[in-house]
């Protein structure tokens, strides 16, 4: 049975860590952008929509 987890647990861990780092960088960039541009509710709605898709 294929549970969706690769045979090599190290590869799976590495990929999940990469995804975590990417999402963290994305949110750090968004917060920096919001601070720079001022609080724009349109940007917040876009970010929340994108986060819900993930």
Q: What is the pLDDT along the chain (54 residues), one digit of tens a residue?
A: 455 655 678 888 999 999 999 999 998 988 888 777 766 667 777 777 877 776
Residue 12: inside a domain, yes or no?
no
pLDDT at position 1: 45
Residue 35: inside a domain, yes or no?
yes
| Per-residue exposure over 31-45, b if at least 16 CB sit within 10 Å of its own CB, e if not | eeeeeeeeeeeeeee
Q: Which residue range(s) make up the domain with 34? A: 29-54
Residue 2: inside a domain, yes or no?
no
pLDDT at position 12: 87
pLDDT at position 3: 56
Overall number of domains in the chain = 1
Residue 18: inside a domain, yes or no?
no
- Between the alpha carbon of residue 34 and those of residues 25, 41, 47, the distances in Å are 14, 9, 11
pLDDT at position 24: 92
Residue 40: inside a domain, yes or no?
yes
Residue 51: inside a domain, yes or no?
yes
pLDDT at position 54: 61
């Amino acid at each position: 049975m294929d549970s969706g987890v690769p045979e090599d647990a190290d590869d799976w861990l590495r990929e999940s860590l990469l995804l975590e780092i990417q999402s963290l960088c994305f949110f750090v960039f968004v917060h920096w952008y919001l601070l720079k541009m001022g609080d724009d509710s349109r940007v917040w709605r876009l970010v929340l929509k994108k986060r819900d898709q993930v």
